[in-house]
Amino acid sequence: MDQHIKNEVFDYAKAWILEAGERIRSKIDSPRSIETKSNANDLVTEMDQETEQFFAKKIKDTYPQHYLFGEEGFGDEIEDLGGTVWIIDPIDGTMNFVHQKRNFAISIGVYFEGIGEVGLIYNVMEDVLYAVKRGEGAYKNDQRLPDLSEKRPLKESILALNTSWLIPENPHVEHNGMEELVKTLRSTRSYGSAALEFAFVAEGVLDGYLTMTLMPWDYAAGSILVREVGGIVTRADQEELDLLNSTTVLASRANIHKEISENYVQLKK
Ligand code: IPD
Ligand code: CA
Ligand code: CA
Ligand code: CA
């Protein structure tokens, strides 16, 4: 991506994400219409939809030739990652948004010919912005995030992990391996916003994040951020991520990545 365009895209994305966040904060106590999508616990609100529409309009007005790939369907039908694609989750952590009115984020990843160039994750209620331009450093507000070079053993690591993957009937991963992993780790956390979990890995307050079902908009920004500070982001079986479909994801410090995948994750089927 041309450096001038990259800087411009970053500046617009930053201005828009802050504006969208401000709007969500100003309406956080307004009555909410809550609908369900794929199941009774898969929530969506008018704020998810309005926020994605806000980005759709800004992007189309400013860059008519760019594509938008967003969770709520106000963007384009994407079949490949040719050209410039904005991959957006307008509210990541909708359940937290509804139940807690905090711990949710807006996530924007901008890809050029399949490469993640710009990533922003905005923790709306805390007014904290994680931002990255590939190859130019990752930031938490104005503070540059240091490299994740420290080698921390698994037994001293904290991993973001949802308890769903420990239920024997879960369709994705053998629970025995997950149990062994939990016993080995120092501890686990589950924040309910994939984007924030990536941001916390990049910040070094989590040592890794392992999950079995993410969509591209959940990790489009987070994967750029974590890689920028030297972390590794792949599918849970260490294969390349598929940026168009649901996937498993393992994002972590470099020294524990292979160990987690090879010794503890046995995917079903
Ligand atoms: C969800 C959150 C959650 C993750 C789910 C996602 P949404 O996104 O990131 O942490 O476990 O897989 O779908 O629906 O709140 O944008
Ligand atoms: Ca959702
Ligand atoms: Ca999401
Ligand atoms: Ca969402």
Ordered per-residue pLDDT tens for the chain, 269 residues: 999 999 999 999 999 999 999 999 999 999 889 999 999 999 999 999 999 999 999 999 999 999 999 999 999 999 999 999 999 999 999 999 999 999 999 999 999 999 999 999 999 999 999 999 999 999 999 999 999 989 999 999 999 999 999 999 999 999 999 999 999 999 999 999 999 999 999 999 999 999 999 999 999 999 999 999 999 999 999 999 999 999 999 999 999 999 999 999 999 97
Q: Is 93 in the pocket of ligand 1 (CB under 6 A)?
A: yes
Q: In 124-266, which ranges are E strands? A: 128-133, 138-140, 143-144, 158-161, 187-189, 208-214, 232-234, 247-252
User: For residue 119, what pLDDT is reported?
Assistant: 98
User: For residue 45, what pLDDT is reported?
Assistant: 95
* CA–CA gap between residue 65 and residue 49 (Å, rounded): 22
- Count of CB atoms within 10 A of residue 185's CB? 20
User: For residue 227, what pLDDT is reported?
Assistant: 98
Contacts of 79 (CB under 8 A, 6+ apart): 244
Residue owning the nearest CA to atom 12 of ligand 1: 214
* CA–CA gap between residue 40 and residue 57 (Å, rounded): 30
3-state secondary structure of 21: helix
Residue of 69, 88, 193 to mutate, ligand 1, most atoms within 8 A of C-beta: 193
Could you say which DSSP state residue 165 is in? G
Could you say which DSSP state residue 71 is in? T
Alpha carbon separation from 121 to 106, 170, 186 (Å, rounded): 6, 29, 27
Evaluate whether 52 touches 90 at the Cβ level (below 8 Å). yes
Could you say which DSSP state residue 156 is in? G
Residue of 214, 215, 245, 248 to mutate, ligand 1, most atoms within 8 A of C-beta: 214
Residue of 92, 172, 200, 210 to mutate, ligand 1, most atoms within 8 A of C-beta: 92
Q: Is 193 in the pocket of ligand 1 (CB under 6 A)?
A: yes
Q: Count of alpha carbons within 13 Å of 145, Cβ hemisphere only?
A: 29
* CA–CA gap between residue 46 and residue 33 (Å, rounded): 6
Question: Which ligand gives the minimal distance to the CA of 213?
Answer: 1
Using alpha carbons, select from 120, 112, 135 the residue that is nearest to residue 2.
112
ipTM over 0.90: yes
Q: Is 194 in the pocket of ligand 1 (CB under 6 A)?
A: yes
Q: Is 107 in the pocket of ligand 1 (CB under 6 A)?
A: no
Contacts of 164 (CB under 8 A, 6+ apart): 170, 212
Evaluate whether 264 touches 185 at the Cβ level (below 8 Å). no
Structural domains of the chain, ranges and CATH numbers in brackets = 3-144 (3.30.540.10), 154-264 (3.40.190.80)
Q: Is 52 in the pocket of ligand 1 (CB under 6 A)?
A: no
Q: Interior CA angle at 6 toward 148 and 147, to 5°?
A: 5
pTM over 0.95: yes
Q: 218: CA distance to ligand 1 center in Å?
A: 7
Q: Which residues are registered as beta bridge partners of 86? A: 68, 110
User: For residue 255, what pLDDT is reported?
Assistant: 97
